[in-house]
Structure 1
Amino acid sequence: MIRGLYTGAAGMLATQTQSEIIGDNIANVRTPGYKEEDGIVKAFPEMLMERTGLANGQPENAMIGSMGTGVVVDSIARLNVQGAIETTDLATDLALTSPGFFAVQTPDGERYTRNGRFQLNTNGILQTADGYPVLGENGPIGPLSNSFMVSTDGTVSDQDQVIDHLRVVQIPAEALVREGQSLYSSSQPAQIVNVDMGNVQMRQGAIEASNVDIPGQMTKMITVFKAYEANQKVIQTQDSTLDKAVNEVGRI
C-alpha cells in the first residue's frame, strides 16, 4: 500500500510538471519565434516481486510478477515547425522562412533565436528587444540608417552599399537548450554550422509567429487535469485502506 502512495504521488508530480509546460506554451503564444514544447513522460523501472515462504521446511521464493513504480517527466520535446509569417511592414522585423537561427551576442556568449523582432539602438546597431546585438559574418551589424534593406538571402545593405550578411546557423534539435522565452544555446557547440547564403530565406518587414496550437494546448490541459485527479483519488483510496489496516484490522 505504501508503494501505491508513492506511485500516485509520482503521477501527480508528473502531471503538475506537464501542466506547467502547457501554461508556459500558452503564456508565449504571442512571442515571435517561440516553439511549442511538450513533456515526455517516462516510467520508472519495473520491479519483479517475489513471495518468500517455506516448502518442505526450506525457504522458497515464488515469483508474483512485475510492479510499476510510477512515472516522471523525463525530457521536454520541442515542436520545431515554422510558425505563421505575419507582415508588420517594419524594416527592423525579420522572419526566417528557412531552417536555422539568427545569431546574437549576449554577455554570456553567442545565443540563437528565431525571434526576428529587432530594433536599431542609438548607434544604429541592429539588436534584439533585450539589447543583444544581432551578428553578421563580420560581427554586430551596423551602423545602419532607418532606410536599410535586407534581401531574401540575408544581405544587409544601406544607401546602396553592402554592409554585411546576417549570420544564420543550424543546430541539431537535440542540442538546443532554451534560455528565457526565445533564446537558445547549444549543448554541442562543435555541431553548430553556419548556413550558406544560398540556403537562407528570410523576409524583411515580417516576423515568424509562435507555433503554439491553443486548442490543442487546452485539450492537453484537460487531459492532464483529469490524470492529476485520478492519481489524487488513488492516493485517497490507498490512504483510506491503510487507515483501516492500521486502526481497525490491527485491533482484532
Structure 2
Amino acid sequence: MNNGIYAASAGLLARTQELDLAANNLANANTGGFRGERVSFKTQMMAASQNSFTRAVSSFGVLGTSRTDFSQGNLQQTGNPLDLAIEGSGFFAVQAPNGVQYTRNGNFHLTKTGALVTAQGFPVLGDKGAITLPQGDAEIGPSGAISVDGAVAGQLKLVDFDSSVPLTSLGNAYYSAPSAAATPANKLTLRQGSLENSNINPVESAVRLIEIQRNAEMMQRALNTFHTEFNKVAAEELPRV
C-alpha cells in the first residue's frame, strides 16, 4: 500500500507540474516569437501488488526535465516596416533594465527620439549599442543591415547560441543567457514587414491540457482511495497492539 501511495503522490505531482507548463504554453499561443516548453518523464516501476489501485499506478511517470522547443513559428505578414521576423536560428538582442536579453519577437517601433524599441520599451541593440534612426523610410535587409532613405543607419545585433547553452525563460518571449555564450547569428534571414508567431498550436495545446487534467484527477482519486484503505487498516490493527 505504501508503494501505491508513493506512486499516486509522485504521479499527481508530475501532472501538476506538467499542467502548469501546458497552461503557460496555451496562454502564450498568441505571443509573438514565444517558444513552448516540453516535458519529459522518467518512468518508475513499483513492485507488483494484489491491490487493484496499486496495479493501476504501479508504472508511473515522474517529471524529469522541461526543455524549450525552439522550432520555427509561422511567419505572418503585417506590412509594418518595423516588424521583423527571424527565419532560421537566432535572436534579437535588447537592453532590458536588468541586462541584455534575447527575443525572437520583432514587434518594434520608434520612440519620439528615434530609438528603436520593443513593445515593452526595451532598446533594440545593434553592433554599436542601442539603435537610433533618423526620420525617413527604413529598410532592413536579410542580414540586419539598416538603411534610411538609402543611407546606412546601423546593423542589428543578431546572435545565436550553441545547443548546449541553457537559455532561461523570463516570460513574454524573452530569454537570458551568459553574455559570453552569444555568437553572431549566421543561419538566419530577416523578413521585414512580418512577425513570427509562437510555435504553439492552440487546439492541440487545449486538448493536451484537458488530458493532463483528467490524468491528475485519476491520480487524485487513487490517492484518496489509498488513504481510505490505510485509515481502515490502521483502525483495524491499532486496537490489537
State the TM bucket, normalised to the shorter chain.
Answer: 0.7 to 0.9
| Contact map agreement 1:125 1:144 (CA 8 A) in 2 | no
1:24, distance to aligned residue in structure 2 (A):
0.7
Unaligned runs of 5+ in 2: 48-57
Q: Which residue of 2 aligns with 1:225?
A: 213
Q: Secondary structure at the residue paired with 2:214?
A: helix
Q: Which residue of 1 aligns with 2:110?
A: 120
Q: Which residue of 2 aligns with 1:102?
A: 92
Structure 1 3/47 Cα, relative in aligned 2: closer, same or farther at 3 Å?
closer
Q: What value does the CA root-mean-square deviation take over the aligned residues?
A: 2.4
1:47, distance to aligned residue in structure 2 (A):
8.7
TM superposition score normalised by structure 1: 0.83
Q: Which residue of 1 aligns with 2:125?
A: 135
- Residue 68 (structure 2) aligned to one of 62, 73, 78: 78
Which deviates the most, 75-84 or 129-138?
75-84
- Residue 157 (structure 2) aligned to one of 167, 177, 180: 167
- Residue 180 (structure 1) aligned to one of 171, 177, 184: 171
| Contact map agreement 1:6 1:69 (CA 8 A) in 2 | no
- % identical equivalent positions: 31
- Residue 248 (structure 1) aligned to one of 233, 236, 239: 236
Structure 1 79/200 Cα, relative in aligned 2: closer, same or farther at 3 Å?
closer
TM superposition score normalised by structure 2: 0.86
| Contact map agreement 1:133 1:141 (CA 8 A) in 2 | yes
CA distance in structure 2 between the aligned counterparts of 1:170 and 1:111, rounded to whole angstroms: 12
Q: Secondary structure at the residue paired with 1:144?
A: coil
Unaligned runs of 5+ in 1: 49-67
1:248, distance to aligned residue in structure 2 (A):
2.8
Residue 235 (1) aligns with residue 223 (2): yes
1:112, distance to aligned residue in structure 2 (A):
0.5
How many pairs does the alignment contain? Answer: 231
CA distance in structure 1 between the aligned counterparts of 2:74 and 2:188, rounded to whole angstroms: 17
1:140, distance to aligned residue in structure 2 (A):
1.0
Amino acid at match of 2:18: Q
Q: Which residue of 2 aligns with 1:215?
A: 203
CA distance in structure 2 between the aligned counterparts of 1:189 and 1:74, rounded to whole angstroms: 28
